[in-house]
Chain A
Amino acid sequence: MSTKAIPGRAGPKGPTFAVLASNEVGLLLITVGAVIVFSYLAPGFDSPFNIYALTRVLAIDVVIGFSMMVVLVTGGLNLAVGAIGVSAVMVGGWAMQVAGLPIIVSALLALAFGAALGALNGILTVAMRVHSFVVTLATMSLFFGAMIVLTQAEAFNALPAEFVSLAKLKTWFFASSMLYASIVVGLLLWWLFHHTLIGRQILAAGANPSAARLSGVPVERTIVVCHGLSGALAAFAGLMLTARNGAALPSMAGQLGMDWLLPAFLAPVLGGTLLTGGTLSVAGTFLGAAMVTVLSNGLLQLQVGEFWVQAFLGVILLVAVVLDRLRAHVMAKRRVR
């Protein structure tokens, strides 16, 4: 995105550091700039209610982005994030409303179910030795279809009040409490990927599976773990969305859960996570989601139609990936000299 503004002078930690840093700094600058511009142009933008609404959307989109990010790092992808998210919260909704289980147990059940569906994707990918694209395309249809058949497309809309109120908490600067939950998730992911054994193994396997395998890294296990993690994160995003909506809705992620795909890819791709696997940026994904949320919220405040905003996000994604390519090209040229 913004990296052209900051020429990649190789810092003491080498050029990779400079690239990542510039990517994140650039996102931050654009986001802050957009906040300032919208505050002037759209009177409602900086109202307490809008800040609250915006941070609530942001919290959810960040986790959706994480859910995709942890699979992108393996060099794969997960089309079923939405379908898993919805399926998991329908389990959670059933547990709370029908089975009458405590909120925390129900939430854990939903997370575990999401993780299980995700892990199934991982297992199928490994067992059939195909790209996760085709597996998750199939399971997207499978999970969503099964969910609709089992729920008869009925919502769970008599959830316990305490659960719904979780989403209504406001904290400092009118921000939604859910944003802090997302930040905590982000910090855990950062620690996982940069300071643990499995995190290193995942990054190695994602960057070069053959080399990793020949060095004793259990590549298949890392793929299953990542898909399972992706499912759990999708379930977490689904739970937050359910709390916000006050009901577990089968339609909350659109047909087949595909409404989540655009935010799921936008955040990590803008944030510098490569589709080829092996690198990721937790902070970048967070900032990518922040930029997208601020831009779309601001445009909506300016009375731009919702669907033009969708088209605009498509353009942003396209421009981002093209600029990213351009940057890689320029970096390569510079390296030669």
Chain B
Amino acid sequence: MTAKLVITGASKAFPGVQALDDVSLTLEAGSIHALLGENGAGKSTLIKIITGVHRPDSGTVLLDGEPMQFFGPHDALAHGISAVHQERNLIPRFSVAENIMLERLPTRAGLVDYGEVREAARRFMAPLGLEIDPDIPVRNLSVARMQLVEIAKALSLDARLLVLDEPTASITPHETETLFRLLRELRDKGVAILFVSHKLDEVFELCDSVTVLRDGRNACASRSLNGLDRSDVVRLMIGRDETAVRRTERTATGEPVLALRDVATDLGHRNIDLEVRAGEIVGLYGLVGAGRTELAKAVIGAAKVTSGEVQVGGRSARIDSVATALSRYRIGYVSEDRKHEGLILMHSVRRNVAVTVWRRIARALGWLPDRAERDAVTPYIERLQVRTPSLAQPVSLLSGGNQQKVSVAKWLAAQVRVLIVDEPTVGIDIQTKVYLHELIHELAASGTAILLISSDMPEMISLADRIVVMADFEVVGELDNTRDAADMSEAIMARIHKVAEVA
């Protein structure tokens, strides 16, 4: 029997990056296959090749033994391939039912038959336990519901090959269970399923075989999961053993530099209490959608604090804009979204780093000579060892790791007292990751208060002194870091799940 999908030697390049390099994968009908790798390892690109969004520069893709020549997602759909992508792909103002049925709206006499749309949609919602009015516009739904709608949409296509990219990122454990039961049923009916998740427990619970990507290449291709354990898979993903680097125990005795007292925001946070001392690294952990990034934005004045008190250096602070946060309170924020929020990609390295100090180095009449900028920037570019041909190089042409260094460098240049670091090592190579961990540690050692937002548990456990757990825009717990990975992750997840089950 030929395999459902065989990819051999696929490569794909984008401006500035080789996203995939000679990647192979074999997906059998009637199996659930895990596709793993760190962010930026090439998973999304591979999925987009399978779903017809991209075409590989080289290599072959065989579907049921036939060469696959797709000219877009509609071709892939026509060949029985459907997908739940990581980014939300719903039409916000369309109803739940119409979104589910969008690929093939049933018509009568040339007109869309909404009665039938509703009926058909219900048939696909029921097995997922999605009990909502199919006429509600999806933009009125919670993130979790939207994700379930997308899953229903993908299932509705009766696909023979189903791709699920992080389908459980924002749904509850209970909903996850229902989904898994459904996926197993589909597998038993002969559907080939490609499952992407960063939750390894789920992978081991659900999948039969695994392909791991690292830096755009195969770390392993379609191996059976039998005989592999968690640490084997992690080793394949990151290219070394997973070791929470043992740091010397530090006790941060400094005064609280940043403190939130019973803070609520107009983004929906309630009763947030949080404290970061000078020289301390406080981790902020939670699932996607728990409100961590949003909290960071409220602290730096990019969203509104509606009640409670924010204290900086022991005194009550009114932070109404990022400019105030930066110039008066010396708080900086390294965004998780480098491309959209962290960097101005089309501008030079020099300008990207100098943006935080422009005001400080400007002379009379707002004159800002290039030389002043260069002098302000150079020490930090050198300290962080940013690899760039010149300071005039557009940041878009740097590697992911060097881009991240630039987005950290600008806050070093600003000499902030509090640095909020949001997912600092997503999508970057392993050396830079190690380097950035060292850097964060050094910064704390030299007295900077650091609030670290990360979904990477080993990173959290290796860096943080204390871990604050958030769920659903509230703080649900606070733990001292014992640096014991198993204990810590169990304790953290327990707190998150307790909230999720109640909700």
A and B touch in the complex (CB under 8 A): yes
Contact of A203 among B335, B347, B356 (CB under 8 A): B347
- If A212-B344, A335-B16, A336-B13 touch, whether A218 touches B392 (CB-CB below 8 Å) is no
Contact of A278 among B323, B347, B390 (CB under 8 A): B347
**A211 touching B397, Cβ below 8 Å:** no
Chain B nearest CB: distance from A176 CB in Å? 31
Q: Which of A204, A211, A212, A279 has most B Cβ within 10 Å?
A: A211
- If A196-B367, A212-B355, A213-B322 touch, whether A279 touches B341 (CB-CB below 8 Å) is no
**A200 touching B351, Cβ below 8 Å:** yes
Contact of A196 among B326, B368, B390 (CB under 8 A): B368
**B393 touching A14, Cβ below 8 Å:** yes
Count of A-B contacts judged by CB separation below 8 Å: 104
Chain B nearest CB: distance from A323 CB in Å? 19
Contact of A217 among B300, B323, B394 (CB under 8 A): B323
- Using an 8 Å CB-CB cutoff, how does the interface string of B312-335 with A read, 1 for contact, 0 for none? 000000000111011100000101
Chain B residue, CB-CB nearest to A334: B15
- If A197-B359, A201-B358 touch, whether A335 touches B397 (CB-CB below 8 Å) is yes
**A208 touching B322, Cβ below 8 Å:** no
**B366 touching A198, Cβ below 8 Å:** yes
- If A204-B351, A217-B323, A335-B16 touch, whether A211 touches B342 (CB-CB below 8 Å) is yes
Q: Which of A13, A216, A336 has most B Cβ within 10 Å?
A: A216
For chain A residues 199-231, which have a beta carbon within 8 Å of chain B?
199-201, 203-204, 207-208, 210-218
Chain A residue, CB-CB nearest to B341: A210
**B368 touching A195, Cβ below 8 Å:** yes
**B355 touching A279, Cβ below 8 Å:** no
Chain B residue, CB-CB nearest to A194: B370
Count of chain A residues near B, Cβ 8 A: 31
Question: What residues on A are CB-neighbors of B245 within 8 Å?
Answer: none
- If A207-B344, A213-B322 touch, whether A336 touches B14 (CB-CB below 8 Å) is yes
Chain B nearest CB: distance from A56 CB in Å? 33
**B394 touching A14, Cβ below 8 Å:** yes
Any chain B CB within 8 A of the CB of A5? no
Contact of A211 among B16, B343, B414 (CB under 8 A): B343
**B322 touching A215, Cβ below 8 Å:** yes
| For the complex of A and B, 9 pairs with smallest distance between CB atoms | A216-B326, A197-B362, A197-B366, A196-B366, A215-B355, A216-B323, A208-B344, A332-B15, A207-B344
Q: Could you give 28 example pairs across A and B, Cβ below 8 Å?
A: A12-B390, A14-B348, A14-B392, A14-B393, A14-B397, A195-B370, A196-B362, A196-B367, A200-B354, A200-B355, A204-B351, A207-B347, A208-B341, A208-B343, A211-B335, A211-B343, A212-B355, A213-B322, A214-B335, A215-B322, A215-B356, A215-B410, A216-B356, A218-B321, A278-B344, A332-B15, A335-B15, A336-B14
A195-B367, A203-B351 known, 13 other contacts, Cβ within 8 Å: A14-B390, A197-B366, A200-B354, A204-B344, A204-B351, A211-B341, A212-B344, A214-B302, A214-B341, A216-B323, A216-B327, A278-B346, A278-B347
